[in-house]
Structure 1
Amino acid sequence: MTATAVRVDTAPAAAVKRRRRSLGSLAVVPLLVFTALAFGLPALAMLDGAFTVKDPSTGATSYSADNLTASLQGAYLTALLGSVKLSAVSAALGALLGLPLAQAVVTSRFPALREAVLTASGVLANFGGVPLAFAFVATLGNAGVLTRHLGLTDKGWDLYSFWGLVLVYLYFLIPLMVLTITPALDGLRSQWREAAQNNGATTVQYWRHVALPVLLPTLLGGFVLLFGSAFAAYATAAAMVGSSVPLVTLQIADALSGNVLVGQENVALALSLDMVLVAGLVMAVYLPLQRRSARWLA
């Protein structure tokens, strides 16, 4: 008795898969068109303005790097470095304070508490701008409620300073860190802790040698995300400190409106390009860290 080979034609199935893949690609086209219009055109306009120099005597325009050079000198450079310093300090504190809060939420025995904290974090992470500045001014400003009742002015407290702005930024950066790190904490397997305990490891040793190395890419990614959020913030600082704290976003606004010097609009575009480059560096660090963390916690 001989066996008969049965040939299965897989061509129709492959054709169906290709058709579905092509339809899926077409579904992305509207998003790509929207991205090109919403981000591509402004980016091209910013690049054109950043490299365009106008001769004040003749009014002729030419392409040059003078605007970029000016954006990295004097008060503009001070503002750029001030924004980097403020963002780095705020992001570091937000990451350090957000991690234990997220761990307390993850290990809580009360599901309602977890849901309440995560819901509140989602709201507070997006609460900023003028309302946030007004809330802090009314509470901790020179004539704020807590400032007067606790006599904070006599103790040297000043909300309209670098550290006052850091405190305000932490109001939305800590909730953002909680939202960022909570999924990673959920991904820590209980078997890892049990294995560490069975080998005689203490809680501190478990966190030092097991949990933190696994969480490190997510922690660094969270820091980078917080840095970018603080670096791009404008309305809160503008409403609260004005020009008392040098920030690049405030310098851009002043250059566009002509508050300091007239005819510096293209320098403002060069400053915007500097911010885009910094943001690009931030994303270049964040994306690899996110992929590395996903491999461990998947």
Structure 2
Amino acid sequence: MTTLVHPGAGAPASAPDAPAGPSHSARARRSAPSLAWLGLLPFAAYVLLFLAVPTLLAIGSGFFTRDGEFTWANVAALGDPVVLNTFANSAWLSLLTAAVGAVVGALVCYALLGMNPDGAIRATVDAAAGVLAQFGGVMLAFAFIATIGIQGVITVFLQDALGFDIYENGTWLYELPGLILPYIYFQIPLMVITFMPALAALKPQWAEANLTLGGTRTSFWTRVGLPVLAPSFLASLLLLFANAFSSYATAAALASQGSQIVPLQIRTSLTSETVLGRENLAGALALGMIVIVGIVMALYSLIQRRAARWQS
């Protein structure tokens, strides 16, 4: 039997012709200029006024004399043995404290890995690391002077109770070796902050797969864990190096005499009452620091980009 179907009953009536492209309102919304970029104006002004302009002024001043005449003398002074020795001191101090801070900080992160992420101990360590990483400058110098200075609490206690004088061979705290402990003090918590996310991102499935294939804890770290964490560790190490290389306030408060590192050499060029007419040498020294820190941060960016491949 043949069934008759009304033309409009079997299928919905065809809609009127509509434009194939997006609607007019959608096109209008896309064509309207976005105002979201206005939120970046305060930050852009901050970067311009307090980073870009001072950097350009510092670099530019290195190519001029005190009278405003162009010269290469300031930049040529970077090859002076005294200046080269200052850069070498800054380099080995930064590398040593960065290496110690990176290793100890990584061990602290490994210890935290086995704790409850929401527990009191983990929260306390995270909060302490965030505070201590920023605890520097004059406050940190005063803390070390008050504890292990010539008349510090620990120094006096060791002398009275044990007859041991930590300054028997000289007042090392106020010289270049005395900067090692204060720098390590803020390098370790900075390492905890930067390296803990990478360590926490290790997937438990990797350890389970290692055990399933007959591996051990040692084989997991040697074949999976350490190779995967190596880029993040190196990136954190470079960040710690740049942090120590550019530190000034702590060194200025402790080593008030002499110019053993580059930031103190810049201070001497600007404030010395015995070497006059060489204020613009500070600009050349700043140029050298910017080049070194720029290279380090470029390497940090490349390594961090590689580490982000598996973290994502």
2:244 to 226, 230, 253: 230
TM-score normalized by structure 2?
A: 0.85
In the alignment, which residue of structure 2 is the partner of 1:168?
182
Which of 223, 227, 234 matches 1:213? 227
Report the counterpart of residue 138 of structure 1 in structure 2.
Answer: 146
| Residues 122 and 176, structure 1, Cα contact 8 Å, conserved in 2 | yes
C-alpha distance after superposition, 1:33-63 (max 9, x if no partner)? 3322322222222222110024xxxx5x421
| Comparing 160-169 and 92-101, the one that deviates more | 160-169
Residue 72 of structure 2 is matched in structure 1 by 65
The residue type equivalent to 1:78 in the other structure is N
Select 1:179's aligned residue among 170, 193, 196. Answer: 193
1:159-212 per-position Cα deviation (integer Å, ceiling 9, x unaligned): 334443111111111000000011111111000111112222222221121111
Q: Name the structure with the higher helix share.
A: 1
- Do the aligned partners of 1:243 and 1:250 also contact (CA within 8 Å) in 2? no
- Supply the AA of the counterpart residue of 2:201: G
Trace 1:66-81 onto structure 2 (pairs within 5 A). Answer: 66-81=73-88
Note closer, same or farther for the CA distance 1:29–1:132 as it changes in structure 2 (3 Å cut).
closer
Q: Give the CA RMSD over aligned residues.
A: 2.5
Deviation string, structure 1 residues 207-236 (Cα, Å, up to 9, x no partner): 121111111111111111111111111111
Contact 2:89 2:261 in 1 (8 A): yes
Structure 2 gaps of 5+ residues are 1-9, 159-163
Q: How far apart are 1:286 and its partner, in Å?
A: 1.1
Q: Give the counterpart of 1:189 among 203, 209, 219.
A: 203
User: Any residues of structure 2 matched to 1:1-298 within 5 Å, and which?
Assistant: 8-10=20-22, 12-13=25-26, 15-17=28-30, 19=32, 22-54=34-66, 61-109=68-116, 111-150=119-158, 151-153=164-166, 158-243=172-257, 246-298=260-312
CA contact (8 A) 1:53 1:266 kept: yes
Three-state SS of the structure 1 residue aligned to 2:65 is: strand
Equivalent-residue separation in structure 2 for 1:241 and 1:32 (angstroms): 35
CA distance in 2: counterparts of 1:84 and 1:291, whole angstroms:
25
Distance between the aligned counterparts of 1:14 and 1:289, measured in 2? 41
Percent of counterpart pairs with the same letter? Answer: 39
Deviates more, 1:40-49 or 1:269-278: 40-49
Secondary structure of the residue aligned to 2:214 is coil
Shift of 1:18: 5.2
- Partners of 2:59 and 2:286 within 8 A in 1: no
Greater displacement, 137-146 / 190-199: 137-146
The answer (yes or no) to whether the contact 2:150–2:167 under 8 Å persists in 1 is no
Aligned positions, number? 292
* Structure 1 segments (4+ residues) deviating >4 Å: 1-8, 154-157
Computing the radius of gyration over CA atoms, which structure comes out larger, 1 or 2? 2
User: Equivalent residue for 2:7?
Assistant: none
Cα distance in 2 for partners of 1:187, 1:8 equals 46
